[in-house]
């Protein structure tokens, strides 16, 4: 149908998020640091966002668009509220884990070369700090020595159940949601798939519950540029793919979504 909806000029948008906060229907979201109309049927065309924009990036336009769907908006807002609650609860757990009494193995840390080194109390060996890949031990003649290939793991922890919902290292990077077995099956997994992405791992057959709400909270609460699922060809990995697809759909974000499927011998088959 022909109706009035908003149009956002990305060249003028500074990413201030004022329009996102002003939109009561949740029709506007942040994608790659810019405001974007997520779905036509979320926009009521009343323009509460227009006066909130300091750069004049938002205007009205009349074009073919889906009718405003009040029911879809209600579902979207409920899903967003649930994701925000999960984020808040997860942040509380993360703060507890980062305290001296928390589990050292689940403390969040950034592994990038240029990461800041946050101070932490407690045992020096368990303090969160940036680890330069240059600190990796040099190869030796030991039979267990590895080749001079750097790890491409961006952060710690990596397990879906343990990663924080919100963290600076998600922003501006792709999110790789990988089945536990993929990196073991594919010898070049670090270089081909993990490099430059934040990698989180899980196994729907072994982990209790569903990943959908946690993944939705991560995607909704951070400036994730893409979502890629790396799975094995076995049927149980389908649960990981479905959870990721449902999570992206819940957020309403228009982010590239890809699935890479590996054979048990490590070949990419889809």
- Residue linked to tokens 């974007």: 36
Between 94 and 228, name the one with better pLDDT: 228
What six digits make up the tokens of 26?
């949740």
- Whether 158 and 249 map to the same domain: the answer is yes
Between helices 212-221 and 238-251, what is the axis angle to 10°? 40
pLDDT score of 107 more than 70: no
- Whether 161 and 245 map to the same domain: the answer is yes
- Whether 108 and 48 map to the same domain: the answer is no
- Whether 171 and 236 map to the same domain: the answer is yes
Contacts of 164 (CB under 8 A, 6+ apart): 90, 91, 94, 108
pLDDT score of 135 more than 80: no
Q: What SS3 class is residue 169?
A: helix
Q: Are 267 and 237 in contact (CB under 8 A)?
A: no
Q: Are 213 and 221 in contact (CB under 8 A)?
A: no
- Residue linked to tokens 């020096």: 124
Residue 248 belongs to domain with CATH number: 3.40.50
- Give the whole-angstrom CA distance, residue 28 versus residue 17: 9
Full residue range of the structural domain in which residue 33 is found: 2-68
- Whether 47 and 108 map to the same domain: the answer is no
- Give the whole-angstrom CA distance, residue 250 versus residue 76: 7
Per-residue model confidence (pLDDT) at position 2: 92
224-250 tens-digit pLDDT: 999 999 999 998 899 999 999 999 999
**Would 242 be classed as within a structural domain?**
yes
Counting runs of H as helices and runs of E as strands, what totals does the chain give? 6, 10
pLDDT band per the 50, 70, 90 thresholds, residue 120 = very low
Number of structural domains found in the chain: 2
Average pLDDT over residues 130-149: 51
Q: Say what the pTM is.
A: 0.55
- Whether 249 and 183 map to the same domain: the answer is yes
193-207 tens-digit pLDDT: 999 899 999 998 888
- Whether 255 and 156 map to the same domain: the answer is yes
- Whether 109 and 222 map to the same domain: the answer is yes
């Amino acid at each position: 149908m022909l109706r009035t909806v908003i149009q956002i000029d990305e060249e003028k948008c500074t990413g201030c998020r004022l329009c996102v906060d002003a939109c009561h229907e949740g029709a506007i979201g942040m994608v790659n640091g810019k405001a974007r109309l997520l779905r036509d049927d979320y926009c009521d065309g009343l323009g509460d966002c227009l006066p909130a924009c300091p750069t004049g990036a938002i205007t009205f336009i009349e074009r073919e668009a889906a009718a405003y769907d009040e029911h879809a908006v209600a579902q979207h807002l409920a899903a967003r509220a649930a994701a925000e609650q999960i984020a808040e609860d997860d942040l509380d757990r993360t703060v507890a884990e980062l305290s001296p009494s928390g589990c050292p193995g689940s403390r969040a840390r950034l592994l990038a070369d240029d990461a800041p080194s946050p101070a932490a109390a407690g045992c020096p060996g368990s303090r969160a700090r940036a680890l330069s890949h240059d600190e990796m031990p040099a190869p030796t003649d030991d039979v267990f020595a590895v080749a001079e290939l750097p790890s491409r793991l961006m952060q710690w922890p990596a397990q879906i159940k343990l990663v924080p919902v919100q963290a600076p290292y998600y922003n501006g990077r792709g999110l790789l949601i990988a089945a536990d077995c993929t990196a073991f099956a594919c010898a070049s997994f670090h270089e081909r798939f993990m490099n430059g992405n934040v990698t989180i791992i899980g196994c729907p057959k072994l982990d209790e519950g569903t990943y959908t709400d946690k993944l939705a909270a991560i995607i909704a609460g951070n400036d994730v540029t893409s979502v890629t699922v790396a799975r094995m060809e076995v049927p149980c990995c389908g649960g990981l793919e479905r959870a990721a697809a449902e999570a992206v759909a819940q957020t309403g974000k228009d982010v590239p979504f890809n699935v890479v499927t590996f054979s048990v011998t490590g070949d990419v088959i889809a």
